[in-house]
Structure 1
């Protein structure tokens, strides 16, 4: 309950009480009776000792959601609040981050990044009930602690990634001509700058004291897929999108929809073979190549007044493009397929009858339900259905509809 949070802060004996709430609809806290909405900054005076009271900052307005990012591993509001406190909000360049500066920075960054999200714009709010005009310094960057120094020659947006904790530690947006210091604990970090078609990255090690400069000429060119500074959620998403090859065994049951076609031309048939897949390709599609064989012996060819014993054989070579939807474990696929079918009918007990050969093309549509199981999701299981038309010519051009259903099991590295 936001009212209880507010009352708890009021009961504190501290001269200045600051509450920062990152929760959905937390703007209700700043709208509670007793506070008044403040401007987006506080005025800086020398009367620091006379400043008393309560300040409340919320991540969103009343009735708004506080949004999160998988890539950041947390909320937009907290990410920008932390980046601002580390130094990116030091708009005055005096190596001090004040409450007014960090709120102004966090507000504008959060509004800008959530403007294009599905949930809509998120507006951080704050209220104050203060006696006095003193501004409040939250971070003093001049104390000589460890950190990164972004010199005046640098320009653009930089992400600082904590390699030990596997998460974004800070974000810096700066114009050329200004220097920016970012306070960070000792550890191993990667600084990356996103370009149009690649990343610029550098690894840096921070000790307990002193600032380490970021030198863009030392940043190496890295392809997006080779980004070594990714959080576990983003890594899992990129792994799902990584182009992979799988090899699978396939079993299919094929049947033509026309009963006359099954009796007189093409009997229902089991097919066995292999499938190779690679993807995602351009547009996110997966390319599949199938090689299938099937045969049935001792079938009766019913020609009304005449019944013949026949052996039937089929070979199928096919390619398909499948677009997949879903997560890392279960995916649904749909797409077109084109197959070349070779069929042969022989009459072992009637040597006077010639073997009949037929070659036809078959456009089809396919759907598939896939499961990726086992450690790392390397085992592939799928169930599929296909519907197509066999285009062939004997005495004239003909087209017959058929359906296929089957299963695959395989492995992907």
Structure 2
């Protein structure tokens, strides 16, 4: 019986890197870099496992470098991480029958019951390119030669003077596209109108935006040239809504933002902020993080990602970055984020996004309720439509289940 290492998620031939429809990207887009976890999560000689785009990956740090291979023995499919054994630092041995693999390239190097097997040196576990930057581990899921990591990240994340502090990651019970669709779309700020972070800053934040024109595709800065692909929403290009009145059966309802910009100017003027969403699933928004009464201290950029785990879950990762000139400034940023913003920003703001995304999952999981088919989008949903167009045009291929077909 001949055994081979199947290519999980791969499509056939030249189509492996052909752009895919957004509606079909339940498991995300193939041939892209994705943040896997934080550097501190994988210590020397330690084994960790995670699922990305439906693929189970075993990670191990050896002499400071992290390697990744498919978490499944090629013999009879035992999940290596269930009871991992390492008889040398650079190998992993299947607990079930002793098949042993080189972590650097996934190659089969030994079989206790058949030491002269022709499978040795022939079979290979799927190996995943790993890059480590700014305290985060990035894994490439795909079949093509990996492009530069910067092509799959929001702007300036890898800048030499950008000090990044990763501080939050969790698994969210919703498909990744629900989160990406809402990422920088300003009408979703309706959910944030009473969040604690705004009280800390006494920050006016509109809970809706009214487009100035009738074309839902206007008002965005597109990034379709060399480098990352995506678009930027410059918040000053729409009409902010801080109060809304409606009438129903003779009764008037009023919705108000927590703070009125005419009374409370806030720490950051709303029109001075922007958000950039980049393929495959990363957002940058800012400048952010000003101290109350000191707008000039708004020198932080918020980064977050929505990494597909499976059809109904994604991994949500957050990091904050700030430009620094020296090690002393970097230490100040590190301390500021970890002792103040990491709690205020997540518990006081982004936790609301988790509730919104998980609360939408049931509808999108129903039979027939597919992206773009049963939604009722309005003129104000230009963000969603623009993102879906950019993603469908510039992705490098569709991810499918292990052994599945496009």
TM-score, scaled relative to structure 1: 0.21
Structure 1 or 2: more strand by fraction:
1
**Greater CA radius of gyration, 1 or 2?**
1
Instruction: Tell me which of the two structures has the higher relative contact order, counting C-alpha pairs closer than 8 angstroms and 6 or more residues apart.
Output: 2
TM-score, scaled relative to structure 2: 0.21
Structure 1 or 2: more helix by fraction:
2
